[in-house]
C-alpha cells in the first residue's frame, strides 16, 4: 500500500534560477512557473492529506485562486516552456478539482492511489443479498421487452418495474450511507495512525461498498431506460 497521508513530492530545483521549489507551482525565488512533479496526486496538488472529508469552501477557494494564477492567458507573452507548463498545471488542476469535489469519485480515486482499485474498475457481480430481487427484476424486464415486441398492454409490467425501481433506488441511498460511514472510518484511522492492516481493512470495505453501489446504480439506470422506452 502507498503512504496513508499526502506523499512527499520529489521537488526538482527551479528550471530558471535553480533555487529549491518545494514542489510549489511558482518558484519562491524568481516567481517562474514550474512543471507538475511526477509523483503529484490530486490530494497533494491541493496540499491535502489523503482523507475523504474535504472542506468544499476551502477547496473551491484554492481552485479559483490557482485557476486565476495558472490561466494560459497570463502566459501569452512568455516562453513556450512556460506556456506549456501553464497548460499542464491548469489541466491537472481541473482534473483534481472535478474528482475531489465529488464524494464517490474521491473514494474511487483514493482506492486507485492505494492500489486497491484499477482506474475505471467496476465489478458487475450481484451482491448475494440481492440475488433473488435481481433475478425477479431481470424476469420482469424480459417480460416487458417481449410484451412490447408483441404490442401487448404494458401497464401492469410498467407498474411492477416502477416499484422495483423505487426499491433499488432506496437501496442505493442506503449504500451511500454505508459509504459515508466507511469514509469517516478511513479518516479516523489516519488520525489515529492506525496499522497498515487496519487501514487496508477499511479500504477493502470501501471497495466492496463501491462495487455494490455501482451494480445497484446500473440496475436503476437499466430500469429507467426500459421505462423511458415504454413512455416514448
Query: Is the per-residue pLDDT at 121 higher than 70?
Result: no
pLDDT given at position 1 = 53
pTM for this prediction: 0.84
Average pLDDT over residues 131-142: 88
Q: What pLDDT does residue 120 have?
A: 58
User: Sorting pLDDT into bands at 50, 70 and 90, what band is 122?
Assistant: low
Mean pLDDT estimate for the chain = 89
At 149 the pLDDT is 84
Contact 32/44 with Cβ under 8 angstroms?
A: no
Task: Give the per-residue pLDDT at 47.
Answer: 87
Q: Are 66 and 25 in contact (CB under 8 A)?
A: yes
Is 90 exceeded by the pLDDT of residue 117?
no
**Cell output for 123:** 465489478
Per-residue pLDDT of 186-224, as tens digits, reads 999 999 999 999 999 999 999 999 999 999 999 999 999
What integer is the mean pLDDT of 60-64?
96
Q: Which pLDDT belongs to residue 3?
A: 46
Question: Which residue in 41, 49, 2 sits closest to 200, CA to CA?
Answer: 2
- Identify the pLDDT of residue 5: 46
- Cα dist from 79 to 14, 72, 85, 157, whole Å: 15, 12, 10, 65
Q: Does 232 or 185 have the greater pLDDT score?
A: 185
Asked if 65 and 57 count as a contact pair (C-beta separation under 8 A), the reply is no
**The predicted structure's pLDDT at residue 2:** 47
On whether the CB atoms of residues 214 and 223 are closer than 8 A, the answer is: no
The three state secondary structure string of the chain is CCCCCCCCCCCCCCCCCCCCCCCCCECCCCCCECCCCCCCCHHHHCCCCCCCCCCHHHHHHHHHHHHHHHCHHHHCCCCHHHHHHHHHHHHHHHHHHHHHCCHHHHHHHHHHHCCCCCCCCCCCCCCHHHHHHHHHHHHHHHHHHHHHHHCCCCHHHHHHHHHHHHHHHHHHHHHHHHHHHHHHHHHHHHHCCCCHHHHHHHHHHHHHHHHHHHHHHHHHHHHHHHHHHHHC
Percent of the chain whose pLDDT exceeds 90? 66
pLDDT in tens, 142-191: 888 888 888 888 888 899 999 999 999 999 999 999 999 999 999 999 99
Amino acid at each position: 500500500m502507498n503512504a496513508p497521508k499526502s506523499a512527499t513530492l520529489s521537488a526538482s530545483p527551479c528550471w530558471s534560477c535553480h533555487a529549491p521549489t518545494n514542489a510549489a507551482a511558482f518558484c519562491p525565488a524568481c516567481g517562474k512557473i514550474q512543471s507538475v512533479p511526477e509523483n503529484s496526486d490530486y490530494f497533494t496538488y491541493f496540499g491535502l492529506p489523503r482523507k475523504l472529508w474535504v472542506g468544499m469552501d476551502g477547496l473551491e477557494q484554492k481552485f479559483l485562486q490557482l485557476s486565476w494564477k495558472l490561466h494560459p492567458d497570463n502566459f501569452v507573452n512568455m516562453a513556450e516552456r512556460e506556456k506549456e507548463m501553464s497548460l499542464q498545471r491548469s489541466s491537472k488542476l481541473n482534473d483534481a478539482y472535478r474528482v475531489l469535489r465529488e464524494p464517490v469519485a474521491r473514494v474511487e480515486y483514493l482506492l486507485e492511489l492505494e492500489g486497491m482499485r484499477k482506474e475505471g474498475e467496476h465489478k458487475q457481480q450481484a451482491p448475494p443479498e440481492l440475488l433473488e430481487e435481481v433475478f425477479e427484476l431481470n424476469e420482469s424486464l424480459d417480460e416487458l421487452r417481449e410484451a412490447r415486441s408483441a404490442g401487448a398492454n404494458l401497464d401492469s409490467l410498467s407498474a411492477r418495474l416502477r416499484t422495483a425501481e423505487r426499491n433499488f433506488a432506496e437501496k442505493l441511498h442506503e449504500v451511500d450511507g454505508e459509504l459515508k460511514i466507511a469514509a469517516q472510518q478511513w479518516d479516523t484511522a489516519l488520525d489515529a495512525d492506525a496499522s497498515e492492516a487496519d487501514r487496508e481493512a477499511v479500504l477493502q470495505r470501501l471497495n466492496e461498498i463501491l462495487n455494490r453501489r455501482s451494480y445497484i446504480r446500473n440496475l436503476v439506470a437499466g430500469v429507467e431506460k426500459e421505462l423511458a422506452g415504454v413512455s416514448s
